[in-house]
C-alpha cells in the first residue's frame, strides 16, 4: 500500500483522500483547513455558514437545543429566536410534532401547539380550576365573571347548596356575600349566622 502522491509505502496510520490511500504528510497538505484553528481537518469536515470546521470548533459554534440542552448537529428546525433538534420540536404539553404545523414559542423558548397555548393563556374557572376554552368546533368559550373571578357557566353554583346560578332565571339569582357566591336562601343563612355571631360578641 503506497501513498498515491509521493509513492511512500504506508506504514502505521494512513488516510484516504478522494478514495485513494495517502500518507499523513500529504493528507495534511491537501485536507481542508479549519476556519477557526487553521489546522488540517482529519476525519469529518463540518460546514457552518459556508465555512469548514474541525469537530471541536464546529461543536463549539453549534447552538444548544432549548428543549434538551444538547448541542445541535445534523437535522434541525430553525425559528426566528432559536434552533431545535428536529426530534425536540414538539409541543411541551401534548408532545405533538410541530415541524410542519403552527406553533407558538414563548419568551422562555418553550414550544406549544396552538391548542395548548390557548389553554395556557386562557382564563381559569374558579370552581373547577380548568381552562375556559372553546369546545371542539367552536371559536368562542362562554365565560361568566363575578367578583373579579371567572367561571364556566356550568360551574357558576352556590357555594353551599350547589344550585346552578343564572341571573336570568327567577330563584337562581346570585347573591354574593363576603366575596363568595350564594343563592338567596344560602345568602340569608350566612347573614343570619353573621348577625348571631355579632350579637354574641356584644354580649
One DSSP character per residue, 160-171 reads TT-PBP-TTSTT
Question: Is there a contact between 22 and 5 (Cβ–Cβ < 8 Å)?
Answer: yes
What distances in angstroms separate CA 103 from CA 77, 90, 91, 115, 161, one per listed residue? Answer: 12, 9, 8, 9, 43
Domain of residue 85, CATH code: 2.10.110.10
pLDDT of residue 35 exceeding 80, the answer is: no
What is the average pLDDT across 171-190?
Answer: 89
Please indicate whether residue 8 or residue 184 has the higher confidence score (pLDDT). 184
pLDDT of residue 38 exceeding 80, the answer is: no
Question: Is there a contact between 172 and 164 (Cβ–Cβ < 8 Å)?
Answer: yes
What is the average pLDDT across 63-71?
Answer: 82
Residue 172 included in any domain: yes
Residue 102 included in any domain: yes
Name the strand (E) or helix (H) holding 200: helix 184-202
Residue 185 included in any domain: yes
What is the pLDDT, as a whole number, of residue 159?
Answer: 92
Q: How many CB atoms lie within 10 A of CB 196?
A: 10
What does pLDDT average to over the chain? 80
Cα–Cα dist 187/107, whole Å:
45
For residue 10, give its domain range.
1-30
What is the average pLDDT across 15-36?
Answer: 73
Residue 144 included in any domain: no
Number of domains within the chain: 3
What is the average pLDDT across 46-61?
Answer: 67
Q: Which residues lie below 8 Å from residue 47, measured CB to CB, with a gap of 6+?
A: 53
Please indicate whether residue 73 or residue 123 has the higher confidence score (pLDDT). 123
pLDDT of residue 71 exceeding 60, the answer is: yes
What is the pLDDT, as a whole number, of residue 135?
Answer: 76
Residue 145 included in any domain: no
Residue 47 included in any domain: no
Question: Is there a contact between 151 and 130 (Cβ–Cβ < 8 Å)?
Answer: no
Q: Which pLDDT band holds residue 59 (cuts at 50, 70, 90)? A: low
pLDDT digits (tens, 9 = 90+) for 103-162: 888 888 888 888 888 888 888 999 999 888 877 767 678 899 999 999 999 999 999 999
Residue 146 included in any domain: no
What is the pLDDT, as a whole number, of residue 58?
Answer: 64
What letter does residue 131 receive in the DSSP assignment? B
Amino acid at each position: 500500500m503506497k501513498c498515491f502522491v509521493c509513492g511512500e509505502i504506508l506504514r502505521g496510520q494512513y488516510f484516504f483522500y478522494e478514495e485513494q490511500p495517502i500518507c499523513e504528510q500529504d493528507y495534511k497538505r491537501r485536507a481542508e483547513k479549519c476556519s477557526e484553528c487553521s489546522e488540517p481537518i482529519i476525519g469529518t469536515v463540518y460546514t457552518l455558514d459556508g465555512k469548514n470546521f474541525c469537530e471541536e470548533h464546529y461543536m463549539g459554534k453549534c447552538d444548544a437545543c432549548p428543549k434538551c440542552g444538547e448541542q445541535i448537529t445534523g437535522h434541525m428546525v430553525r425559528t426566528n429566536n432559536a434552533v431545535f433538534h428536529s426530534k425536540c420540536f414538539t409541543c411541551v404539553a401534548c408532545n405533538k410534532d410541530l415541524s410542519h404545523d403552527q406553533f407558538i414559542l414563548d419568551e422562555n423558548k418553550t414550544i406549544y401547539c396552538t391548542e395548548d397555548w390557548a389553554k395556557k393563556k386562557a382564563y381559569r374557572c374558579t370552581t373547577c380550576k380548568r381552562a375556559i376554552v372553546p369546545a371542539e368546533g367552536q371559536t368562542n368559550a362562554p365565560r361568566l365573571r363575578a367578583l373579579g373571578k371567572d367561571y364556566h357557566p356550568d360551574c357558576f353554583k352556590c357555594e353551599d347548596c350547589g344550585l346552578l346560578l343564572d341571573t336570568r332565571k327567577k330563584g337562581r339569582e346570585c347573591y354574593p356575600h363576603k366575596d363568595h357566591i350564594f343563592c338567596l336562601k344560602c345568602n340569608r343563612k350566612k347573614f343570619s349566622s353573621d348577625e348571631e355571631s355579632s350579637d354574641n360578641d356584644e354580649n
